[in-house]
Amino acid sequence: MRSKFESYMGFASRSGKLVAGTSACISKIEKNQAKLLLIAADTAENTSEKLRYTAERNRIPVRIYGTADELSRMAGKPGRTVFAITDEHFAKMIAEQIDERKKEVLG
């Protein structure tokens, strides 16, 4: 059974509210269209730092989560490590799911 997180990622992607790839995400962040930035835990350190800095400078929340393979599969966008959610509602739901999962893991 798919988790809520996987479902939300799929819905966001199919509705055009998710962009993937470093350049596309930076573009959305700089245009203030990104509402949440997701970075796979296995993203290259330099890329991850650049994206986090750009997002923080533009006051976009960031979550580091999962692997590139997991997130790419959920979003239906193979080979990507970075995703921007452009819809406030999807961003809120996805961030909440990630935060809940991290709380469960940490106990």
Per residue in 25-45, pLDDT tens?
999 999 999 999 999 999 999
Q: Structure pTM?
A: 0.92
Reference 15, options 69, 97, 93, 99; nearest CA is: 93
When divided into structural domains, the chain yields a total of 1
Predicted confidence (pLDDT) per residue in 67-97, tens digit: 999 999 999 999 999 999 999 999 999 999 9
Domain extent at residue 20:
4-106
* Distance from C-alpha of 73 to C-alpha of 82, rounded to nearest angstrom: 12
Average pLDDT over residues 49-53: 96
C-alpha 17/C-alpha 88 separation (Å) is 9
pLDDT tens for each residue of 54-66? 999 999 999 999 9
Q: Which CATH number goes with the domain that contains 62?
A: 3.30.1330.30
